[in-house]
Structure 1
Amino acid sequence: MSGHLPQFTDDLCARLRESLRRTGYDADGVLGTLGESAHAALGRGEPEPAARASRDAGELGTLIRLFLLGGAEPRDAVRAALAPVPLDDAIAVGLVTDGDEVRAGLDLRPHGDERGSWWVLSDLDSDVLGGQVPADHVLGVGHASLSLIRATIRRPVDTLLDLGTGNGVQALHATRHARRVTASDVSERALALADATFRLNELDVELLRGEWFAPVARRRFDQIVCNPPFVVGPPRVDYTYRDSGLAGDDASALVVRQLPAFLTEGGTGQLLASWLHVRGEDWADRVQRWLPPETDAWFVQRDVADPALYVGTWLRDAGIDPRSAQGREKAAAWLDWFAEAKVQGIGFGFVTLRRAGTAHPTVVCEDLRQSYDDPLGPEAGAWLDRVAWLREHDGELAATRFRVPPTVVAEHVDRLSDDGWETSVRRLHRTDGPGWQHDADELVTALLAGCRGVLPLSDLLGLLAVAHGRPAGELTEAALPVVRELVRHGMLEPA
């Protein structure tokens, strides 16, 4: 509940941890009890299959219904499930409510990765509250958090900053690959819940309070991750978890502009971001203006939302009915602001940054709106590797022996004409990772057919020039930009 800062002591966390372990309330235990079908239904917001599956699960079932389904449970059943945590202590810190039937006061849920399970504390969402969330609401592990988790590079680093930590879930994952983790937030309530999360999981994370980068002034980190308040619109703060108080996409611009200065040389930063699609302006030109010098940057646009759909989505997220008087008033002000700013859409995606230390950094903005299952994190790391390789070897491309990875295929689309089947589309398709695709003409597909790690690129281009009656210099000049792009996308690699 808003206004009451939870104070989870080490002793309380130790007792709660014992209770959760004893009952099996972890990622594997919940999945094992519910089964894959009911667990998937719960993830879709359909609680009834999970409620049925938990009926005969004893104390674990009590905790599942209490914390995951938002149900009311008998006082004695909750007391038994939480032991050795005294029920009065759980009520005092706001973990559960008081009464003959007890409800969750906070969201406490298992969250895992391939190496194990944690517990994350946050505030109850609007569905459980049955109405609008408070202004200092601390969001749980939602789709945006999960997408950033999957998009983050997981390579060993010494220091990592989780800027705007919220409930602390990004920092949890960071402890897997960073020796020292710092987490900051402007919200006192968010830091209190993140602190409880870290104590509950026996993790040593440095916590700092303040706006943006102020708490870490004059410090540098090997890696920075950030899930900022990226909702765009009028300059206001209705909810600290999503609103920055800055107009439009200025919050995303601020992070992109300032983040590289807090990185060590070669350090990386990754964030979720939003950008406006303004009439008469290319979104790529807009976001590139945010960048400081000497910064490699990869902007990946995952979606573009219509302003009306965007406003309705975020009103519902806060528990406001768009049909209510309050909802219509807020929607009108929001849509008026979009109209005045000539906003035609709102782009959303991931930004990967590297302090490159060069006057000629690589900056790429591209759409990745197709669906794919692989996490983007490994691809982001590989993209940075490939960009660094190209920078180091750009003058040697013609002398390099390349090969086509086995995951790259050539696709032809043929159309029936008066003369029979004719190829109308030639396309290169990388079948792993994000599934990059490139249109390719006959010469490009012929060039890649020869890239088997045996002949240098110059020899292959010479053979093609002879076969097609083209000057070798002209063919080389046309081919090198294509080769660079294919290397960046992992569709061509040095042998």
Structure 2
Amino acid sequence: MIPDLSADRIDRLRDAFQAARYDADGVLDLLGPEAHAALGRGEPVPAHRATADAGALGTLVRLFLLGEPQPRGAVEAALAPLPLDEARAAGIVVADGDALRPGLDVRPHGAGDDSWWVVSDLDSDLRGGRPVAPDHVLGVGHASLSLVRATSRRPVGSLLDLGTGCGVQALHGSTHARRITATDVSERALALAGATFRLNRVEAELAAGEWFEPVRGRRFDQVVCNPPFVVGPPRTDFTYRDSGLAGDDASALVVRQLPSFLEPGGTGQLLASWVHRRGEDWRERVAGWLPPGGVDAWFVQRDIADPVLYVGTWLRDAGYDPRSPEGVRKANEWLDWFAANGVEGVGFGFVTLRRTDAAQGDVVCEDLRHAYDDPLGPESDEWLRRVDWLRAHGSDEGLLAARLTTAEHAVLEQVSEPGDEGWRPIVHRLHRTDGPGWQHEVDELGARLLAGCRGALPLGDLLELLALGGGLDPAELTRSALPVFRELIRHGMVLPAEWREQR
């Protein structure tokens, strides 16, 4: 059933939230950092204690964030000026004996200086552990937040949120895009996303349909997508995660079609999954999804899940007890499919795409499974900038003529072992201390060469001086150094000197 979340009802709900200070800052102020952090870990008792006798805000926190039934009178006072019968008609709250409990998940979502409300369906925990409905609309979860952090925030004219769900990607897109279009195959998702946008005074065009059909023939400056990327047999138990396509075909479909919906120079960023099969390189697999022609693509693998762990995780996500008869049946079907298709693992990560007028795009697939703190969105912008520079200067002649500088956030780590004449260095490892924290091992000559990259001399001159000082063949040193420097530039560890001069 589609909830009747009319504009008038949402406007009155907004008034109630503002009056009670039911927003990101207000909730944090009420709970305090310790109880707020505990709530984020799924520990409700500190938040329950902090909301005792806290008036309308305490009622709203207990109702929507803790999922606890609240007295009718307290809910009526907290939701005013939205009448209680209107809130019930909209499905925002439902009766629970003489009390009321939440019918929808409506919670503050803060990011930086921005504070929004997100409307979604109640997850399994707030449904008493019962499995969610097939048309369940997921709220703000770890996957959606990871995409938020991995998305570029450069100003754009138009943004498409493909498969918007509760609308969280579009909310964040509103900070840098002038026009927003949000699509979904689920009418329920569009209704809840529309309520999210109305609640936050965000203007967005809503369109219903599968995949790119609602925007066929249009182009956008940016596309973001958190698709139903779960890998497994071709079924649709839950629209938020299952595509009806087999294996990783959903991720392949988005990667293949997305570039044709971009303006020249436009970018797309999405979450994706891919199978790891015996005897197959995952890099070749995902690169093969790309359309021919001018597309720059950066595939970043953040994790590889064992099939057994993968199945158990997604069963619990939907509220199934893996020990129940239904859980056992679904697990066996899933694992049988993995075994029949030679799946040894499931990779997960981010994809950045850019439509380019170059005859051949730059395609890089790499692992980034170590921990890092900085968001990947700004790094994706810089990655594309470095791709452009390498495209213009990446020939042997262009690179040798370039003045380069070691990045400010690059440090050199040396590992030594004891020897007859003291400590003997055996490893030279260059680290980036910002962004995704890349690491590259270099030899002693490479370390000396990087020490000379201060922007004063072209790389070719530095190589000649190093060869002369060490009695080396300049041509051989150049042949071995250039591929290393291309990789260091690609990872932002060595940069064009003029970039520093332009700041």
TM-score range, shorter chain: over 0.9
- Cα contact 1:7–1:196 (8 A) shared by 2: no
Gaps of 5+ in 1: none
Partner of 1:85: 82
Give the 5 Å matches for 1:52-91: 52-91=49-88
Which residue of the partner structure matches residue 476 of structure 1?
478
User: Equivalents in 2 of 1:237, 1:214: separation in Å?
Assistant: 19
Of stretches 359-368 and 428-437 in structure 1, the one that deviates more from structure 2 is 359-368
**Counterpart in 1 of 2:28?**
31
User: How far has the Cα of 1:419 moved from its partner?
Assistant: 5.2
* Corresponding residue for residue 435 of structure 1: 437
Structure 1 contact 153–378 (Cα < 8 Å) conserved: yes
Residue matched to 1:127:
125
- Shift of residue 257 of structure 1? 0.5
Distance, in Å, in 2 between the alignment partners of 1:285 and 1:296 is: 15
Contact 1:372 1:434 in 2 (8 A): yes
Decide which moves more: 360-369 or 60-69.
360-369
| Structure 2: distance between partners of 1:400 and 1:321 | 60
Residue matched to 2:247: 248
- 3-state DSSP class of the match of 1:103? strand
Shift of 1:262: 0.4
Partner of 2:184: 185
Write the mapping of 1:402-421 to structure 2, written as runs, cut at 5 A: 402-417=404-419, 420-421=422-423
Deviations for 1:182-228, whole angstroms, at most 9, x for unmatched residues?
00000010001001111111111000000000110000000000000
Q: 1:95 aligns with which of 74, 92, 95?
A: 92
Q: Using the alignment, how far apart are the partners of 1:75 and 1:104 within structure 2?
A: 12
Deviation of the 1:468 alpha carbon: 2.2
Query: How many Å separate the matches in 2 of 1:414 and 1:46?
Result: 46
User: What corresponds to 1:163 in structure 2?
Assistant: 162
Q: What is residue 113 of structure 1 aligned with on the other side?
A: 111
Matched residue, 2:501: none
Equivalent position of 2:393 in the other structure: 393
- 2:379 partner amino acid: E
Aligned residues: CA RMSD: 0.9
The whole-number CA distance in structure 1 between the counterparts of 2:470 and 2:50 is 68
Alignment deviations for residues 414-438 of structure 1 (CA, whole Å, 9 cap, x no partner): 1234554222211000001111100
TM value normalised by structure 1: 0.98
What's the counterpart of residue 40 of structure 1? Answer: 37
Corresponding position of 1:266: 265
Aligned: 1:446 with 2:445? no
4+ runs deviating over 4 angstroms? none
What CA distance in whole angstroms lies between the structure 1 residues aligned with 2:420 and 2:61?
Answer: 66
Residue 210 (structure 1) aligns with = 209
The C-alpha deviation readout for 1:265-289, integer Å capped at 9, x for no partner, is: 0100000000001011111111010
Match of 1:334 in 2: 334
Runs of 5+ unmatched residues, structure 2: 498-503
TM-score normalised by L of structure 2: 0.97
Give the deviation of 1:142 after TM superposition.
Answer: 0.2
Whole-angstrom distance in 2 between the partners of 1:254 and 1:450? 46
Amino acid at match of 2:487: E
Contact 1:249 1:276 in 2 (8 A): yes
Counting aligned pairs with the same residue, the percent is 68
The aligned counterpart of 2:500 is: none
Supply the distance in 2 between the matched residues of 1:232 and 1:349 (Cα, whole angstroms).
Answer: 13
User: Of 14, 19, 22, which residue of structure 1 is paired with 2:19?
Assistant: 22
Distance in 2 (CA, whole Å) between partners of 1:184 and 1:36 is 36
Cα distance in 2 for residues equivalent to 1:449 and 1:218: 52
SS in 1 for 2:172: helix
Partners of 1:344 and 1:423 lie apart in 2 by 39
Counterpart amino acid of residue 22 in structure 1: A
Tell me the amino acid that sits aligned with residue 219 of structure 1.
Answer: R
| AA matched with 1:315 | L
Contact 1:461 1:476 in 2 (8 A): yes
Rounded Cα–Cα distance in structure 2 between residues aligned with 1:93 and 1:183: 22
Amino acid at match of 1:464: L
The CA distance in 1 between the partners of 2:424 and 2:431, in whole Å, is: 20
- Secondary structure of the residue aligned to 2:122 is coil
- Say which of 478, 491, 494 aligns to 1:492: 494
SS in 1 for 2:94: coil
1:360: how far off?
2.3
AA aligned opposite 1:73: Q
Question: Where do 1:273-312 residues align within 5 Å?
Answer: 273-293=272-292, 294-312=294-312
Question: Which deviates more from structure 2 when the two are superposed, residues 284-293 or residues 409-418?
Answer: 409-418
1:338-377: CA deviation from partner (whole Å, max 9, x where unpaired): 0111111100000000001212211111111111111110
Give the Å deviation of 1:37: 1.1
Q: How far apart, in 1, do the equivalents of 2:419 and 2:126 lie?
A: 61
Cα distance in 1 between the residues matched to 2:10 and 2:424: 69
CA distance in 1, matches of 2:381, 2:408: 20
How many residue pairs match? The answer is 492
1:115, distance to aligned residue in structure 2 (A) = 2.6
What residue is the counterpart of 1:6 in the other structure? 3
Q: CA deviation at 1:176?
A: 0.8
1:343 & 1:469 partners in 2: Cα distance?
Answer: 52
- Structure 1 CA distance for aligned equivalents of residues 484 and 34 of structure 2: 46
Which residue identity is paired with 2:165?
G
State the shift of 1:117 in Å: 0.8
Tell me the CA shift for residue 7 of structure 1.
1.8
